[in-house]
Amino acid sequence: MFHAGLLSAQDDFFERKYNVLFIVADDMRPTLGCYGDERAITPYIDNLARRSIVFKNAYCQQAVCNPSRASVLTGLRPDENGVTDLVTHFRQKIPDVVTLPQAFKNAGYTSIGIGKVFHGSKRTLDSVSWSVPSLVQSFTKQDEYYLPENRKGNAKAASYEFVAEQDDDYPDGKIANAAITALQQFRESGESFFMAVGFNKPHLPFCAPRKYWNMYEGSDFSKMSHKFKPLGAPDIAFHQWQELRGYSDIPKDGAIPSQKEQELWRGYYACVSYVDTQIGRVLSELERLDMSENTIIVFWGDHGYHLGEQGLWCKSTNYELDTRIPLLISVPDITDKGSHTSAIVEALDIYPTLLELCGLKSHHRLSGKSLTPLLENPNCRWEGVAFSQFCRPYEAITKQHPTHMGYTVRIPGWRYVAWYDLNTGSVVNTELYDLKKGNIELHNLSGDKRYKKVEQKLHSLIDAYYSKR
């Protein structure tokens, strides 16, 4: 089961029982210094990157919280675990599945979840995954705000708020506090642990202490590029930013005023820096307790995000900005010098990777594949493709019963999307994008005879994927 190269490189690699610190941020695209974003102020994640493998081309399986997290935590694709919306619990479809934290619990680890690990609603939590009840859960919009005027009822209020002084005036600071306390308890008890820490930000509303807003004073976001839809893209690929428009200071239709755009961009980046600091606090405590040399660290974002590019805000598409995620994996004695890989990988590869690194066996067939060869040699030969999907109409993510599903495949240099009518099984729209010069779709080349062979190749991959659903 184990990768021979890793075993020969480190004779005692599998003799130690590694702890796992599993960190996820909500709605965080690769807006990080270690991914080349010059605006981002993210020193703590960047420092983690220096002792990790940075996966430059990692992709989620569906660009919205519940399906993405269910996919990673079950090791199965959305069509396999039955979760393609925000309300379905995977145990409704596959009741006996063993989740990633549950696999560690079954192997004798203390498995603990802090913050938003599974989707952040009461109906989508999973108590059987944990050794103890989940900690620091936020279920209402009230929990996201500090100002009394924004905490009225359970409705969305302002799209951003930067007024509080202390990090733990907002939930993510409390999540970091709980994680630090848990690490101290594990140090005292000597238990082996799988600890998942889920931060809420930079998810809307953009709320954090004012010092993070002040970090970006004077930053010019006016040159955010590619604000137009890809030429020739079908209407079904888009939505009306319903998630953003629900906030009280956002127009119900039409364009967002330029000043408000500047505020939203600044707010998103400020929340990224807020999460970065909370992660830094947790990692600093891990170091202080002399636990880092025996702890595998995984940091990932549950999906990407649009900030006005391609005429879109938030997530819920099959495009690069929504499906591409940050993924860092740090393994003691293996990744200490830090490196990066351009290999195309999937978020559901995390599950089998952690099992292999810790010498555990899977309780069911996993759809991802272990990334351990890339951890040993980031430049090794890697036949990687990434599949993602999204439903339409947009409202199906809360009301269920989609009529169409768009399936996308990403290979080096290309993205292809096929939109299926779920009633007939027929393909109603296709999209083909050349991404060799940049990670954003500009011109739909589907149907162009010059690209017939590549389109046929990619369509065959999607068709085989769809036929297995």
Helices 350-357, 65-74: inter-axial angle, 10-degree rounding: 30
Distance CA 394, CA 404 (A): 10
Catalytic residue among 3, 34, 60, 65: 65
Direct distance between the N- and C-terminal alpha carbons of the chain, in angstroms, rounded to an integer: 28
Q: Which CA distances in Å does 398 have to 86, 151, 393?
A: 6, 23, 10
Catalytic residue among 3, 34, 60, 119: 119
Q: Respond yes or no: is residue 401 known to be catalytic.
A: no
Distance CA 254, CA 256 (A): 7
All residues at 6 or more sequence positions from 457 whose CB lies less than 8 Å from its CB, including other chains: none
Give the Cβ contact number of residue 411 at 10 Å.
17
Are 101 and 197 in contact by the 8 Å Cβ rule? The answer is no
Distance CA 73, CA 68 (A): 9
Q: Respond yes or no: is residue 271 known to be catalytic.
A: no
Distance CA 327, CA 342 (A): 12
Are 26 and 202 in contact by the 8 Å Cβ rule? The answer is yes
Selection from 245, 237, 244 nearest residue 393 by Cα: 237
The catalytic residue positions are: 65, 119
